[in-house]
A and B are shown apart, each in its own frame.
Chain A
Amino acid sequence: MAVATLNRKIYVWQLAVRFYHWLNAACIVTLAITGYLIGNPPAILSSSEASFSYWFGTVRFLHFLAAFIFFFNFLFRIYWGFVGNRFARWNNFIPLKKEQWREIWQVLCFDILQICIKPFKSIGHNSLAGFTYFITFLVFLFQAITGFGMYSAMSDAWLPNLFSWVVPFLGGDFAVRQWHHLMLWFFIIFAMIHVYLVFYHDYVEGRGTISSMAGGWKFIERK
């Protein structure tokens, strides 16, 4: 029978990577929803005194709590980029080699023009995806820095106060809030494209892209 079409099973995403991914996703969803509410709170009419309720304070608390988890989870992922397996390594994310750039063009051709059907060399992240995640890491960092910068004004803790230079550096409180808010949309748009492309690649490549982030396995064509 058709031996050539049998697939090889490869353990790509280690438990640590999967754990990071889903915790990160949960944090981002929480941060995006609470962040949007902080920027645009809904209209509420209440007959009771302000001292009896604290929902907006709770929303802000959840935002700060999720932000701390998000930040440390991100630090953990950076650490894992140096000790994890070859699919988790830092060099998947920064295209330093020529072949990574070649693959970026190949993926663009595959994703947008939908004509280059050759399977990719990369088994984990393809080079374009890796590079995109590198950009999201920079945005993570930006959100963390601006977030802690704003938070430092109302905190005595040493960690946020490491970032008290941020607000004057970026041109004042108005500007920092505006940029922090605008980047919320980066996450929303990233999530839309990311989820779609996962479905797309799973569908077109047939390597089990979606399930790989749950079980860790991918299925690669045997040569």
Chain B
Amino acid sequence: MNEKPLTIYEEIRAKGYSRRDFLKFCSWMAAFIGIEASGVGSIVHAMETKSRLPVVWFHFQECTCCSESFLRSSHPIVADIILDKISLDYTETLQAAAGYQAEEALQNTMKKYKGKYLMLVEGSVPVENDGVYCCIGGKSALNIVKDAAENAKAIISWGSCASWGCIQSAKPNPTGATPVHKIISNKPIINVPGCPPIADVMAGTIVYLLTFDRIPQLDGLGRPKTFYSRRVHDTCYRRANYDAGLFVESFDDENAKRGYCLYKVGCKGPVTYNSCAVIKWNNGVSYPIQSGHPCLGCSQENFWDNGPFYQHLSSFPGFGIETTADDIGIFLGVATAVGIAAHAVSTNIRKRKQIKEEVDNHRVTAQKEEGGE
């Protein structure tokens, strides 16, 4: 057995990748993270000198689409290093161990790497009724999160579930599905929203942590600025159609075939912060808008409660399904117009009487004055 743990580079080589593959991977990552060319060296150096990063990856209220997305990242090394090499010490979906052995592995990692392990969370945490809606190994997700966060180095919330609560927290949120950052407050938490997040964004976030040994720069909502500071709309290749006022009116019209802007069929690109239009999906093949479908805004908080998907304006809460601000406005406008018309009619009826009285008054005053002289 080795005295010293293998470095990541050594593990990658042992896995059968060439140095050329390794360097390509490092440059790729540097590009995603958005560091300058000279930074590639830091990534290479980090990979060559650092050893496994202990990771525990929890699955709570989720659909595993984040894991699925992660497996489809642009470079196979990504999945290899995280899932095989960076020591995924505990993950319900992929580990071979089960039952007591699995729980033991978790406890061992948390003890052995106290304060050093990275905690990845996929899925939201139900808090209603003491968290009974999600239990693993006899413990509620709520308790597991609190225990594991205690000695974690940092937490990454994968996907919209762990970042915002996602669909299971849609009104009326029966299980009290809660994002991680609302439960844990004393640890650095990185939100990587999306349903799922882009694989290369996930990999980029981990590689950044590994390389620079600190969390990437975050925006006000805890998302890495590198990936979430621009709107899909502002980076969209169909943007020119938006500025030209050329819109798809329905999915089967001529405009859709020409690839016009999907704004009027409900594209949420203008309110969605993500890298879809830049990094794209599945090896940079495409992204929803490129495939002719409006963005759903899956990486935005509350996107699940701001439907319908195929309508630009969201429906207004409390006014029935698909009632928009415009419907309410038009109703109030018509009501006002009717009120004004009725008022004008009654004013004129009254005013005629008033004018008559005033004219009579004048006549009386005039007569009195004449009589007084």
Contact = CB atoms under 8 A, between A and B. Distances in A.
B332 A114 contact: no
Contact of B337 (A43, A56, A165, A192): A192
B50 to A, nearest CB: 35
A203 B347 contact: yes
Q: Is the interface of B mostly helix, strand, loop or mixed?
A: helix
Contacts of A178: 306, 313-314, 316, 325
A51 B240 contact: yes
A159 interface: no
A164 B249 CA distance: 32
B329 A182 contact: yes
A59 B247 CA distance: 15
Contacts of A171: 301-302
Contacts of B362: 2, 5
A164 B221 CA distance: 12
Given A54-B244, A173-B271, A181-B325, A196 B344 contact: yes
Interface string B354-367: 10000000100110
B242 interface: yes
Interface in B320-351: 325-326, 328-330, 332-333, 336-337, 340, 343-344, 346-347, 350-351
Given A2-B366, A57-B244, A182-B325, A172 B340 contact: no
Q: Which of A56, A168, A184 has the most CB of B within 10 A?
A: A56
A198 to B, nearest CB: 12
B280 interface: no
Contacts of A153: 231
Nearest to B220: A168
A185 B313 contact: no
Contacts of B312: 39-40
B303 interface: yes
A172 B220 CA distance: 12
Contacts of B332: 185, 189
A174 B247 contact: no
Contacts of A175: 302, 306
Contact of A185 (B263, B297, B325): B325
Given A174-B271, A174-B297, A178-B314, A193 B369 contact: no
Contact of A52 (B244, B254, B297, B300): B244
Contacts of A46: 244, 246
Contacts of A154: 231, 234
Interface in A168-216: 168, 171-175, 177-178, 181-182, 184-185, 188-189, 192-193, 196, 200, 203-204
B124 to A, nearest CB: 17
A217 B237 CA distance: 57
Interface string B213-252: 0000000110000000001001000001111111101000
Interface in A34-51: 39-46, 50-51
Given A174-B300, A193-B340, 10 more contacts: A39-B312, A50-B240, A51-B244, A175-B302, A182-B329, A185-B326, A185-B328, A189-B329, A203-B347, A204-B351
27 contacts: A1-B369, A2-B365, A39-B313, A41-B263, A43-B249, A50-B244, A51-B244, A56-B243, A56-B244, A117-B354, A154-B234, A171-B301, A172-B271, A172-B300, A173-B271, A173-B272, A175-B302, A178-B306, A178-B313, A178-B316, A184-B329, A185-B325, A185-B330, A189-B329, A189-B336, A193-B336, A203-B351
Interface of A: 1-2, 4-5, 39-46, 50-57, 59, 114, 117, 153-154, 164-165, 168, 171-175, 177-178, 181-182, 184-185, 188-189, 192-193, 196, 200, 203-204
10 closest A-B pairs by beta carbon, nearest first, are: A185-B329, A56-B245, A173-B271, A57-B243, A174-B306, A182-B325, A50-B240, A50-B244, A53-B244, A50-B241
